[in-house]
C-alpha cells in the first residue's frame, strides 16, 4: 500500500464548512461491492444501520441503528448516548442517486431542516475511494458526534470488508469524539 493510500485509510475527517464534516477512505473492495454495503439493508446493518431504502431519486430511507450490536467486546454507551444504546430510527429521502457512484439523502427528516449525507465512490482498481460528506449540521456538538460516528462506522466497514473483527463501537466512538473535539474549531 502506498503512502497516499495508507493516509486515506487512517485520515481524520475535516470540517469543510461551519456545518459540514467530510471523511474519506480507500476501501479494500470493488466499487460494486461497496455500493452493496451502502444500499443493501442486510450488508449495511453490519457496519452502519439496517432499514429499507427505495433505490431511486426521491426514494424513502429509514435507518435503524443498533450501535451496541455492531461489535463484540465493547464498552457500554456513554450516558449522553444512553437512548442510542438500543434502537434508534431515522428517516430521510434520497436526493441524488447515480449507481454505483453517488448516493445522497436527507438525514433525520425530509425537510429543509434535515441534515444531508453524501457518499461519492470512485473505482481504484480492486479498491474504492469513498468520500462521505455530512452537511447542514446545526451545532458543533452535532459535528463532533457525526465526525466520531462516521469515523467509527467507516472503520467497522473497512474491518468487515477485510474479514476482520472490528474494535468496539462505543469505545472507539468515545475516543474519536474526544479527538475531534480538539480538531474541529469552535464556531
> For residue 100, which phi and psi values (nearest 5 degrees)?
-100, 35
For residues 64 and 25, what is the distance between their CA atoms, to the nearest angstrom? 23
- pLDDT of 1 reads 47
Stretch 132-136: mean pLDDT: 98
Q: Is the pTM of this model over 0.75?
A: yes
Stretch 20-26: mean pLDDT: 97
- pLDDT of 113 reads 87
Superfamily of domain 3-183: START domain (3.30.530.20)
Stretch 10-37: mean pLDDT: 94
Displacement of CA 186 from its chain's centroid (Å): 22
User: 8-17, 82-91, 125-134, 177-186: which has the highest mean pLDDT?
Assistant: 125-134
Q: How many CB atoms lie within 10 A of CB 113?
A: 10
Q: What angle do CA 183, 185, 187 make, to 5 degrees?
A: 155
The pLDDT-based confidence of 10 (bands split at 50, 70, 90) is low
- pLDDT of 187 reads 73
Closest listed residue to residue 30, CA positions, set 101, 96, 97, 94:
101
- pLDDT of 68 reads 93
For residues 174 and 176, what is the distance between their CA atoms, to the nearest angstrom? 6
**pLDDT for 76-122, tens place per residue?**
999 999 877 789 999 999 999 999 999 999 999 888 889 999 999 99
The pLDDT-based confidence of 137 (bands split at 50, 70, 90) is very high
Stretch 27-38: mean pLDDT: 98
The pLDDT-based confidence of 35 (bands split at 50, 70, 90) is very high
Domain ranges of the chain: 3-183
Amino acid at each position: 500500500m502506498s503512502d497516499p493510500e495508507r493516509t486515506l485509510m487512517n485520515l481524520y475527517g475535516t470540517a469543510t464548512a461551519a456545518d459540514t464534516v467530510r471523511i474519506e477512505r480507500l476501501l479494500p473492495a470493488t466499487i460494486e461491492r461497496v455500493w452493496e454495503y451502502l444500499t443493501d439493508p442486510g450488508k449495511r446493518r453490519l457496519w452502519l444501520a439496517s432499514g429499507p431504502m427505495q433505490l431511486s431519486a426521491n426514494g424513502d430511507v429509514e435507518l435503524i441503528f443498533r450501535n451496541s450490536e455492531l461489535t463484540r467486546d465493547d464498552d457500554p454507551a456513554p450516558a449522553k448516548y444512553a437512548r442510542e444504546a438500543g434502537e434508534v430510527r431515522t428517516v430521510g429521502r434520497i436526493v441524488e442517486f447515480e449507481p454505483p457512484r453517488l448516493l445522497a439523502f436527507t438525514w433525520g427528516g425530509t425537510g429543509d431542516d434535515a441534515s444531508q449525507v453524501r457518499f461519492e465512490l470512485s473505482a481504484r482498481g480492486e479498491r474504492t475511494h469513498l468520500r462521505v460528506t455530512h452537511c447542514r449540521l446545526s451545532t458543533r456538538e452535532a459535528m463532533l458526534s457525526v465526525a466520531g460516528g462516521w469515523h467509527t462506522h467507516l472503520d467497522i466497514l473497512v474491518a468487515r470488508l477485510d474479514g476482520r473483527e472490528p474494535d468496539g463501537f462505543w469505545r472507539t466512538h468515545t475516543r474519536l469524539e474526544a479527538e475531534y473535539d480538539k480538531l474541529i474549531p469552535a464556531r
